[in-house]
Amino acid sequence: MGQRVAIVGGYVVGVEGEPIDGGTVLLDGATISAVGGPELPVPADATVVDASDRWVLPGFIDAHTHLGVHEEAEGWAGQDTNETTDPAAAHVRAIDAINPADLGFRDAVSGGVLTVNVNPGSGNPIGGQTVALKTWGRIVDEMVLKAPSGVKSALGENPKRVYGDRKQTPSTRLGTAAVLRESFTKARNYISKWDHREEGKPDPDVDLKMESLAAVLRREIPWRQHCHRADDIATAIRIAEEFGYRLVIDHGTEAHLIADLLAAREIPVIIGPLFTSRSKVELRNRSLANPGRLAAAGVTIAITTDHPVVPIHFLIHQATLAVKEGLDPRVALAAVTINPARIVGIDDRVGSLRAGKDADIVLWSGDPLDVGSRVVRAFIRGREIYHYDDVARAGVITDPFAA
């Protein structure tokens, strides 16, 4: 049994359920043991954390980042985002390139982001396997929540630019779609061979690409589809319906234009990044009002920074400005907590404050949707890893490489 901690007297926003003024959150080692009001008994052996005048929330979740695979301030040496030697790279895994020493991990904690989903990039039609992990740890294996948590794919400008410049397939949108269909058809055939292998005969050869795609076709993990334009989103839906896999739209810049189609199919959208210029054609309809438009149409949304495109500690600020443009504040908090947790498939562990979930908790100086509020303390698995020093006006974070 680990250390017991009682966070008492705060404004507890558990996300699932109503906020509790003067609430108590009990931690028993790495998990939450109870959440309640001031009347909740505090164990005699618990370390008490006074959360008076603080907001107490679950750690935020960014469901689409390149944290650790696209390292900051490292140039080419820290750039492992795209394996662009193969348009169909379903077998590569983001986990194999994540460096926990990337500066972005400390930024994440200082912004209240305690869980991320790390994706390969969008240079390939099929970019590889994603992974969900905590934002604190010595090695990535100690940080993992779910691996793989999906397979990344890209439609639109990026793959046609990368391979078109080489005069190689795919150089067009129709070529990109063909790569996806061809890959999934091969994966279907691969599954059939294994399902119908004959007793007494050698098993078919294991193919790592096909194993990855087979997990998608069996609906064990979602297909994470990078796309911005409405026509590309329609293509994503079309191919998903042909092959029957679970689809998640990543970015979804023009998803609001076909929000009714997404809502009817219960396809979630991880929207963002929202703090960018319209740097290419498919971003021309980018707007901070789009999250609110999608949510109003009944689409489940999560908000992403696409770090390092937008620095990860600005995740909540994107939500704040989306609220300014019409997004409901409660939906905004859900879009950085329970919604991304459900989309990634880790909501049994993180995304809200409930008994049995991981003790990943952040104390804020005030409402996190107020840009003047800041993280003052953060706990991952019940261990305090960040404590803001008001006197020194500097964050003090436990060295993730300490024994």
Asked if residues 315 and 60 have their Cβ atoms less than 8 Å apart, the reply is: yes
Question: What is the pLDDT at residue 390?
Answer: 63
3-class DSSP assignment, residue 174: helix
Q: What tokens were used for 115?
A: 């869980």
Per the model's pLDDT, the better-predicted residue between 27 and 75 turns out to be 27
Average pLDDT score, the chain: 95
Percentage with pLDDT > 70 across the chain = 96
Q: Compute the distance between CA of residue 42 and CA of residue 204 in angstroms, rounded to an integer.
A: 58
pLDDT exceeds 70 at position 326: yes
Q: Helix, strand, coil % (nearest 5) of the chain?
A: 30, 25, 45
CB atoms within 10 A of CB 328: 15
Residue 384: per-residue pLDDT: 95
Dump pLDDT digits (tens) for 193-203.
999 998 889 99
| pLDDT number for residue 397 | 54
Over 80: is that where the pLDDT of 16 sits? yes
Q: What pLDDT score does 401 carry?
A: 37
Length of the chain equals 403
What share of the chain has pLDDT > 90, as a percent?
A: 91
Q: Using 50, 70 and 90 to split pLDDT, how confident is the model at 391?
A: low
90 versus 281: the higher-pLDDT residue is 90
* Cα separation of the two ends of the chain: 20
pLDDT for res 392: 44
The one-letter amino acid at 198: E
pLDDT at 221 (0 to 100) = 98
Class of residue 281 by CB neighbours under 10 A (exposed 0-12, middle 13-18, buried 19+): exposed
Whole-number pLDDT of residue 78: 87
pLDDT of residue 403: 36
Average confidence (pLDDT) over 187-215: 95
Domains and CATH numbers, the chain: 1-59+351-403 (2.30.40.10), 60-349 (3.20.20.140)
- The lowest-confidence range among 85-89, 317-321, 352-356, 398-402 is 398-402
pLDDT score, position 402? 40
User: Region 303-315: what's the mean pLDDT?
Assistant: 97
pLDDT digits (tens, 9 = 90+) for 74-104: 888 888 999 999 999 999 999 999 999 999 9
This prediction's pTM: 0.95
pLDDT single digits (tens) 376-389: 999 999 999 999 86
Note the pLDDT tens digit of each residue in 237-253.
Answer: 999 999 999 999 999 99
Q: Is the predicted pLDDT of residue 69 greater than 50, yes or no?
A: yes
